[in-house]
Amino acid sequence: MAEPVDPIAGLPEASRRYGEVGPHSNAPRWGMVVDQERCIGCWSCGVICKSENDVPLGMWWNRILTEGEALDTPTADHGRLEMHWLPLACQHCDNAPCVKVCPVGATYHGDGGLVLQDSERCIGCRYCMVACPYGVRTFNWGAPDRPTDFDTGMVPPRPVGTVEKCTMCVHRLADGQVPSCVWSCPAQARIFGDVADPESRVNQLVRDREGERLLEERGTEPKVWFLPPRRRRGL
Amino acid sequence: MRAGVAAGGRGTSLRHPNSALVAWLAFLGVVMIVGFGAWVYQTQQGLAVTAMRNTVMWGQYILFFMFFVGLSAGGLIVASSGRLFGASRMKPIVRLAVLEATIAITLAAAFLLPDIGRPERIWHLFRYPNLTSPLVWDIAIVSTYLAISLIYVWLYARADLARSGSRLALGTGTSPTTMEREHRAKGILAWIGLPAAVMLHSITAWIFGLQISRGFWYSAIMAPLFVSSALVSGLALVILLALAVRRAGRLSFGDDLVAWLGGLLGVFIAVEAFFVLAEMLTAAYPAAPFEGDPVYRLLFGQFAPFFWFEVVVGLGLPFVLLAVRRLRAQPRIVAAAAVIAIVGIYVHRLNIVLNGLSVSPVGLPPGVSIGTAPASGASSFAMAYWYVPSIVEWLIAAGILAGGAFLFTLAVRFLPLREEP
Amino acid sequence: MPVRRRDVLKGGLAVGAVAGAAAGGWIGAGILGPQRRTPTGSLPVDRIVRTTCSPNCTGSCGQLAFVRDERIVKIQQAADYPDAAYNPRGCMKGLSYHLQVHGPDRILTPLVRTGDRGSGEFRPATWEEALDQIAGDLRRIGEEHGWDSIHVFGQVPGSGYVQKGANYRACALLGMSHGTSFDFNGDLPMGMPITFGVQNAEHEAKDWANSRFLLLVGANPVETRIPDVHFIWDAVERGARLVVVDPVFSGTAAKADAWLQPKPGTDAALALGLVRQILAHGAADEAFLRAYTDAPLLVRADTGRRLRERDLVEGIAADAPDRFVAWDPAREEPIIVGTERLGPPGGLATVALDGQVAVPRSGGAAIAARPSFGHVRDEVDRWTPERVEAVTGVPAASVVSLARAFAAEKPAAILMGGGANHWFHGDLTGRAFALLSAVTGNIGRSGGGYSVYVGQYRVRVDTSPWWSPGGTKAPVVPSIYFVRGRTPTMHPKVPYPAAGFKALVCTFANMFLQSPDVNRLHETLRGLELIVVVDHQMTDTVRWADVVLPATTWYEKTDLTATPLHPFLQLQQAAIAPVGESRSEVAIWREIVRRIDPALAAEWFDIDEDEAIRQILEAGGGPGGPTEGITLDHLRAGPVRLRVPDPDIPFLAQIRDLEPFPPRSLPAPLEATAAFVPTGRIEFYKEEARFLELGEQVPTHREPYDDGIHDPADWPLVLLSPHSKWRIHSTYSNNAWLAEIHGGRPTVLLHPDDAAARDIGDGDPIRVHNTRGSLEAWAHVSEAAGRGTATLPEGWWSRYFGAGKGVNELTSSEVNPIHEVHFVANMWSPSTGWKDCRCEVEKVGASVAAAAVPAGAAPPGGVDG
């Protein structure tokens, strides 16, 4: 029997360097930038999230919405076809509606401002799902259904009858590695970093590219910014 | 008083168990057992056996919870205002109203249990309460309210119990001093009970109305609207139960009280209709679609049959029946109006909860992950979701309703309902 | 799910023991404290293995396989390329392949057919029994009909030199005929060998970032080059313009500065129109044309063939290399042009590109001739913007602006994809866009070039010691001839078996679903005495086998990979032990050969994968060789960049160092492909007899071939079957996670007008048919579709259709005689025209619609097809 290997410590050197969180302030607040210009709607981030976190069939912590008529289908805007993608997972709001409404405090703000879920405390009332404007929370309705007949991924499965959602891969952050969706984005459209540091790449991008947050008017103060697609220049 | 006038021959037989009563209780018992069995099944399989999914994550259990909270609040408001505002003609039914409120709040609480995914962790609510959660406020108010109701019931039954030497009188007697104290206590309780009842339903409203994620709910009118619908459904149920109990001979009052209550119900319905109008006009006037336009869905879309049923049948029809003096003079008409109003309020709840949940605020395809593995040929996502309660949900609901009927039957059988002069 | 619960528990215990308190925070129940548990750390695994993904894309993306209990529990990109711009690579398909490694369709034991062919009825067999049966039958067939009557089909050896090379090795040893893939897949861009004398040559993906103008023609990298498309965004972020030409609004069109929507199959007309505008405005790079192309070479007026030195001078030895002739207009005399070095003939910047000349000849009348480019210009001049609009539907104004913009930016890159190449006349389209690239002088420049990205083909190392044991090469027969038999115009060098085909060994492929004109293939199958399929999943093809051998996936074996798009040599390393009783192809062939000829096997197949890799590395390891200085140990440590220029740009040696065309196309010898361009230059004028007969000596436009078979009046829709974002051909059809996203059923994209005319609504079940076949799928109605098109992405397994074997019931296997002018397998060889296909669509009865969409599920439509 071989010695067990930690999936982060055991990474090949070059791979581990690729995934390092990088410099951050002393009191980091973790956030993310998603570049809609670069996003190609491939769902790699959604799939690796599912894999990393052992999310059963029918449930997605991270999904890629199409700004269009249907999945990967454009809308006609003044006769011109338009389509963009909007990857959506937990926005880790500073003013999180879910944290406010959870009756038992099972949803809470952890270190770095992450919105986390204590699966052992959750009673499964689903009020957080009602309160979340982003529809990113999912409930374990029944016994998990998996395409493989064994558990996959890097974290334990959550119990039936509780709510789960994106953790910003907090189990990887603990070892200084970016969330898996950031690692696996082949379009290099996701940038992770410390929003408390004004000079972080995340903040620079938000400034330079006029990043916006989703449903900003609802005051949820999300920590995910979207860089809007560029204007089409024609011929 | 025309005590006993309405007491039919069959009524007295209730005092002595007869086959009809036994059959009724047995029937309720069977339904309760089936419902309990369904709940055990649900705890084994998970809430996957309900029709709820991530898209519509609250369903009939919560609907019934709200509905019974409303019935209960309405009952207690009726009881308390009878005392507070000197509506002394209500006196004959105050005990009944208190009993109704108590059983209704018990049922409401019971409906929470099957709704949560980990019922064995319900104690977390008391161990780790999060004070910013309207649900915690609601648990608090429901508990308080249940306590008030029980004290109420006891206060009203105390003297009779004492007279019959029951231990349930807790050693109190019927001396004039005690009776005076009882009277004062009832007054104080009414002063507590009325705001408690108003708060009860307001807080239930705020579970929804404070949620900025659901534009359709996020409105200051939610609490008044919930209170007014509580008044309608609560009073309507009190009327129905009063008529039923009078028919069973356990209560006596005149038809004029029924007519008066009918008139009051008509006023409540008018108030409810006013709030609904105010709400819908405010939402519809800008004609600005938001979140898949729940207003459109309500007025013309998927929920239109329900909404127009609520307006025309649930509010319009009973109002007409009750507004006409000649009609409301007939208890049958009042009873019919009450039934319709109750159904109307149930549909109103449904329109609020399900319509508010049916569409996710970020209304982009492919929508929200459903939460359970899709059938072959379908995706895991849904933009909209048409919720119809599953058989398990119906069975559990039937079981809880049967439990309520069971309790009520026993209470009518064993508790003195007549207000002794 | 008691098993799963136990597994969870077991995992939990293991973790508790190992990771202690940290992981225990997540798992251990214990007494609930008021403190919430913040998860720390990941669950441990048994090992992490660096390997590569390896389906039939051009990816070969480096992956890490995380293994727990001999099962892959996560696949994630290795992201360890020394050139950071390439990280992370990989896509959602590769990240989810463990679902198939451990999935319900996995074949775990050898199977022997018990029912009729195609019934899918098998019984498990032992390896001994299955191998004995196969070896016995092969020997009987080989001895009776000739060994070449056994056809071994295996896809894309470029994506796995060792395991796929085992097919070649076995064929070479036994004399079995090996099939082809690059041409058979329609991915061989015939415009390349015709024009440049190479199989194909494209810029490495990283070089896209250096472009100022990206013109994408029938290419949809957003959906089909997911790991590489970000290089286009790098260019766009630096100000490059992105123009997409596609009859359908694709994911890439959504990102474009401008999207042009031609009628399907008319891309060549657009290219010719663009060239005309550029020439008309004097924006052409004439110096480039003179130095590197055949433009100045004279063509005889009488024969239509090039004027050669020997036409003018007597006494040149018959075996001396041809020398060609250009014209100096100033001195009015011919210039002899050799083939050993490029550059303007005679070093003259003024050498004639047009004009009728009379070339004096010693001892005879002058020969009337004209520079090649004059012929090109004649053809190009016919393509006025108005005519282009009439043919393609692209507005004349757009043609004018695009030509101006394209000529103004340098470097400008043309990226052509399957959408433009997969046509009977795809060669003409390729030649026309190559012309556009040449007249703007973009060839051989970083950020420029004309690149065709379809298919994985390129052999980047010297595989000869492994593929051709003892110098013996396998006879290679284009598989299109396996499907439809020989054609009257078939090149005599094709080693078509004398007795025809009697047996098929199909590996690495879902051939009976994914061949063009698949109903015709099924006719061919009837004549076969043995069908062996080696696969790891129960595909449509497996169902037709007589004997099935369970193959390992790429996570269970060793191989060596390199791809055209990113020039890294990588090792595929087994992450887990073979699942079930599966075996690698090397092991399978070793056993089969041993049973047929033990001595042969002992001499040539007693070799393992590592040794094969060592031999390949050594063969190309000489000075300047592609694997110079690369050892197996280097590869074990991670990806190694091949010894190629950085960025890897084709034709550098030609453009910079003036070496003649073509560069060598491995594994063929240079002489074989040099015959394609006898001038040693980029050839826009072809003089071979068949080009002249068919009037295709210069790039031109031809109406789609299928229009002649299916009259557009009766068959008004063009059936496009592009690659899907959700699959690599038929691989991933059955991937549960991806099906969750796209809905798991085939949809056909139709324009609302076409749908309305047929009373078809979004989500309706429809029948798609032509004279070759039919299928039933579901309509997806959207303005994304071009009018007159029906788009059904290829690759769906037949079980997902309402009826039919899939889209290839309708596609065509017609062979373009131009593709038979020369023959070098996979290099000048018949290329399939998948999209050259007409059809009609109709609504089918509601009965199919009932195919179970649960209450509340997403409405149909809006999903992948």
Give residue-wise pLDDT tens across range C247-275. Answer: 999 999 999 999 999 999 999 999 999 99
- Non-local CB neighbours of B179 within 8 Å, separated by 6+ positions: B159
pLDDT of B17 = 62
Q: Strand, coil or helix: what is C833?
A: coil
A183·C77 Cβ contact <8 A = yes
List the single residue in A86, A141, A161 with the smallest CB-CB distance to B364.
A86
Q: Provide φ and ψ at C834, rounded to 5°.
A: -55, -35
- B137-180 pLDDT tens trace: 999 999 999 999 999 888 888 888 888 888 888 888 888 898 89
Distance separating alpha carbons of residues C607 and C590, to the nearest angstrom:
9
What DSSP letter does each residue of B273-295 carry, written as one string? Answer: HHHHHHHHHHHHTT----TT-HH
Which chain C residues are closer than 8 Å to B127 by Cβ? 32
Please give the mean pLDDT across all residues of chain A. 96
Residue B30 burial (CB count, 10 A): 12
Q: Provide φ and ψ at C731, rounded to 5°.
A: -70, 140
- B394-403 pLDDT tens trace: 999 999 999 9
B382·C858 Cβ contact <8 A = yes
Q: Which of residues 702-741 of C touch A (CB under 8 A)?
A: 725, 736-738, 740-741
Amino acid identity at B131: L
Distance separating alpha carbons of residues C794 and C224, to the nearest angstrom:
12
Helix (H) / strand (E) containing C8: helix C2-19
List the single residue in A103, A139, A161 with the smallest CB-CB distance to B57.
A139
A116·C36 Cβ contact <8 A = yes
Q: At A22, list the tokens.
A: 């990088």
Amino acid identity at C437: S
Q: Are C106 and C536 in contact (CB under 8 A)?
A: yes
Q: Are A90 and A136 in contact (CB under 8 A)?
A: yes
Residue C397: which pLDDT band, with cuts at 50, 70 and 90? very high
Q: Are C293 and C343 in contact (CB under 8 A)?
A: no
pTM: 0.93
- A29-67 pLDDT tens trace: 999 999 999 999 999 999 999 999 999 999 999 999 999
C30 pLDDT higher than 70: no
Region of residue C172 (left: phi > 0; alpha: psi -120 to 50; beta: else): alpha
Q: Are B193 and B148 in contact (CB under 8 A)?
A: yes
Which chain C residues are closer than 8 Å to B370 by Cβ? 856-857
- Report the residue count for chain B: 421
C740·B380 Cβ contact <8 A = yes
By CB neighbour count within 10 A (0-12 exposed, 13-18 middle, 19+ buried), where does B26 fall? exposed
A10·C863 Cβ contact <8 A = no
Residue C623 burial (CB count, 10 A): 7
A57·B380 Cβ contact <8 A = yes
C857·B383 Cβ contact <8 A = no
Does A126 reach chain B within 8 Å, measured CB to CB? Answer: yes
B-chain residue closest to C739, CA distance: B379
- In C321-371 the beta strands, taken as DSSP E runs, fall at 324-328, 333-337, 357-361, 364-371
pLDDT of B16 = 58
- In C179-247 the beta strands, taken as DSSP E runs, fall at 213-217, 241-245
Best of A72, A99, A127 to substitute, by most chain B Cβ atoms within 10 angstroms, is A127
C12 pLDDT higher than 60: no
A-chain residue closest to B138, CA distance: A103
- Least confident segment among B238-242, B245-249, C224-228: B245-249
Give the distance between the most distant pair of CA atoms in chain C. Answer: 110
pLDDT of B5 = 34
Average pLDDT on B275-303 reads 82
- Residue ranges of alpha helices (H) inside C48-190 are 92-95, 98-101, 127-145, 163-174
Please state, in angstroms and as integers, the Cα–Cα distance from residue B89 to each residue in B157, B335, B356, C220, C859, following that order. 19, 19, 41, 80, 58
Does A157 reach chain B within 8 Å, measured CB to CB? Answer: no
pLDDT of B172 = 84
Q: Strand, coil or helix: what is C347?
A: helix
- C677-696 pLDDT tens trace: 999 999 999 999 999 999 99
pLDDT of B168 = 81
Does C229 reach chain A within 8 Å, measured CB to CB? Answer: yes
A4·C14 Cβ contact <8 A = yes
C36 pLDDT higher than 80: no
Chain B closest-CA separation from residue A75 CA (Å) = 12
B360·A135 Cβ contact <8 A = yes
Q: Are C817 and C488 in contact (CB under 8 A)?
A: no
Q: Which of residues 238-277 of C touch A (CB under 8 A)?
A: 241, 243, 249, 251, 253-259
List the single residue in B376, B381, B388 with the smallest CB-CB distance to C852.
B376
Tell me, what DSSP letter sits at residue C295? Answer: T
pLDDT of C408 = 96
What DSSP letter does each residue of B335-352 carry, written as one string? Answer: HHHHHHHHHHHHHHHHHH
Distance separating alpha carbons of residues C253 and C247, to the nearest angstrom:
10
- C714-770 pLDDT tens trace: 999 999 999 999 999 999 999 999 999 999 999 999 999 999 999 999 999 999 999
Using the structure block, give the residue that is written with the tokens 């069977």. Answer: B30
A71·B129 Cβ contact <8 A = no
B374·C740 Cβ contact <8 A = yes
Q: Are C136 and C529 in contact (CB under 8 A)?
A: no
Chain A closest-CA separation from residue B369 CA (Å) = 6
Q: At A124, list the tokens.
A: 């499964």
Q: At B240, list the tokens.
A: 């129905």
C789 pLDDT higher than 80: yes
How many A/C residue pairs have CB atoms within 8 Å? 272
Distance separating alpha carbons of residues A87 and A65, to the nearest angstrom:
6
Tell me, what DSSP letter sits at residue B53? Answer: -
B387·C856 Cβ contact <8 A = yes
B13 pLDDT higher than 50: no
pLDDT of C38 = 66
Distance separating alpha carbons of residues C41 and C44, to the nearest angstrom:
9
- Report the residue count for chain A: 235
Distance separating alpha carbons of residues C493 and A216, to the nearest angstrom:
69
Residue B12: which pLDDT band, with cuts at 50, 70 and 90? very low
- C125-139 pLDDT tens trace: 999 999 999 999 999
Crossing angle for the helix pair C267-280 and C385-392, to the nearest 10 degrees = 170
Residue C127 burial (CB count, 10 A): 16
Residue B248 burial (CB count, 10 A): 20
Crossing angle for the helix pair C163-174 and C585-596, to the nearest 10 degrees = 20
C103 pLDDT higher than 90: yes
Q: Are C765 and C776 in contact (CB under 8 A)?
A: yes
Please give the mean pLDDT across all residues of chain C. 92
Distance separating alpha carbons of residues C178 and C171, to the nearest angstrom:
6
Chain B closest-CA separation from residue C849 CA (Å) = 11
- C45-54 pLDDT tens trace: 999 999 999 9
Q: Which of residues 292-321 of B touch C (CB under 8 A)?
A: none
Of all residues in chain A, what percent carry a pLDDT higher than 90? Answer: 94
Residue A2: which pLDDT band, with cuts at 50, 70 and 90? confident
Of all residues in chain C, what percent carry a pLDDT higher than 70? Answer: 93
Q: Are B379 and C857 in contact (CB under 8 A)?
A: yes
Q: Which of C49, C42, C84 is nearest to C63 (CA)?
A: C49
Q: At B385, list the tokens.
A: 């979701």
Which chain C residues are closer than 8 Å to A38 by Cβ? 230, 233
Q: Which of residues 43-102 of B touch C (CB under 8 A)?
A: 51, 53, 55
Which chain C residues are closer than 8 Å to B374 by Cβ? 740, 743-744, 854, 857
Q: Are C230 and A187 in contact (CB under 8 A)?
A: yes
- Least confident segment among B78-82, C390-394, C448-452: B78-82
Q: Which of C732, C719, C746, C59 is nearest to C422 (CA)?
A: C719
A132·B362 Cβ contact <8 A = no
Give C88 or B363, the one with higher predicted confidence.
C88
Q: Which residues of B152-188 are buried (b: 16+ CB within 10 A; e: fewer)?
A: bbbbbbbbbbbeeeeeebeebebeeebeeebeeebee
Give B182 or B62, the one with higher predicted confidence.
B62
- A88-123 pLDDT tens trace: 999 999 999 999 999 999 999 999 999 999 999 999
Average pLDDT on A193-205 reads 96
C782·A74 Cβ contact <8 A = yes
Average pLDDT on A196-217 reads 95
List the single residue in B46, B122, B373 with the smallest CB-CB distance to A140.
B46
Please report all neighbours of C, defined by 3+ CB atom pairs within 8 A: A, B
3-state DSSP of B78-99: HHHHHHHCCCHHHHHHHHHHHH
C862·A72 Cβ contact <8 A = yes
Using the structure block, give the residue that is written with the tokens 């708060």. Answer: B199
Which chain C residues are closer than 8 Å to B387 by Cβ? 856
Q: Are C808 and C730 in contact (CB under 8 A)?
A: no
C846 pLDDT higher than 80: no
Residue A182 burial (CB count, 10 A): 25
Distance separating alpha carbons of residues C404 and C440, to the nearest angstrom:
11
Distance separating alpha carbons of residues C96 and C113, to the nearest angstrom:
31
Does B120 reach chain C within 8 Å, measured CB to CB? Answer: no
Tell me, what DSSP letter sits at residue B244? Answer: H
Q: Are B341 and B232 in contact (CB under 8 A)?
A: yes
Which ipTM value was assigned to this complex?
0.98
Determine what percent of chain C falls in helix, strand and coil, rounding each to the nearest 5: 35, 15, 50
Residue C500 burial (CB count, 10 A): 17
